[in-house]
Amino acid sequence: MKGRRLRFWLYRWHRRSGLAAAFIVILVTLSGLALNHTGDLELDRHYPQSSLLLLPYGSAIEVRQGISTKDGWLYVSDQQVLLDAKILGECSQLIGFASTDSEMLLVCEEQWLLLSADWTFLELIDPAFFQLEHIKAVGTDEEYFAVQVDPGLWYELDLETYSAQLLSKSAIVSAQYELAPLPLSIDASRNKSISWQRLLLDMHSGRWLGTYGVWLVDIAAVMLLFLALSGCWIWFSKTRK
């Protein structure tokens, strides 16, 4: 009588444990199968780009920044600055962008590009000529371009004589465009640090689900152990009778 009650209890909890651990067991099994064939599947050489899969890595992935204009996104790729797919010129790091009615100024770390209103690259300007360092932002003072060096310190640029003049604090200048994370449609292959192998290893161990993910996988592993033991008990106690 006692044995029958124990077998019934084990049977009931065997089913419940199987259902509760199913999701984690499937995840661990599939990731384990894939990891067993890392070399053949080249998991260490390919990188997932899904923002959902990469969600837990957040700041570990470099999100490139660009500037959204009415004609498209300005961004740097391979030392060149592009407007969507059109190469405008060389640029190591994009700092800012401003436009007047007739011209546009694209400020990079080591070179500035003066552009016409229709995005024709007019002139390459060396920022060192203005003797201004650590430029934070670019704006316009009605018809002139201005750059911000420190908070509240704006310099008006004379692009004819390559000189800069400090603007009074009452002059109202603000950055016209701000740097913002590039949309995935442009920065499609931005992840080059988290490989499929790393992702699957983290899924397999539970780290992909965060701090409590490892404990969740531990619980699922204990449940799997219980399933094995209870399954054996149910099987052998039945065959004995």
Residues that bind other proteins (CB under 8 A): 87-90, 92, 110-111, 113, 116, 120-124, 126, 128-129, 131, 160-162
**Coil, helix or strand at residue 56:** helix
Q: Using only C-alpha atoms, what is the Rg of the chain?
A: 30
Beta carbon of residue 129, minimum distance to other proteins (angstroms, whole number) = 5
Pick between residue 13 and residue 162 the one whose CB is nearest to other proteins.
162
The least CB distance from residue 137 to other proteins, in Å, is 21
Token pair in block for residue 123: 């002139």
Structure tokens at 131: 């003797």
Answer whether 150's CB lies under 8 Å from 130's CB: no
Please give the backbone phi and psi of residue 102, each rounded to the nearest 5 degrees, phi first.
-110, -25
Give the Cα-Cα-Cα angle 167, 169, 172 (nearest 5 degrees): 80
Closer CB to other proteins, residue 83 or residue 173?
A: 83
Tell me how far, at minimum, the Cβ of 128 lies from other proteins, in Å.
5
Helix or strand run (H / E) with residue 192: none
If the CB atoms of residues 122 and 228 are measured against other proteins, the closer one turns out to be 122
> Which of residues 127 and 206 has its CB atom nearest to other proteins in the complex?
127
Query: What's the closest the beta carbon of residue 73 comes to other proteins, in angstroms?
Result: 19
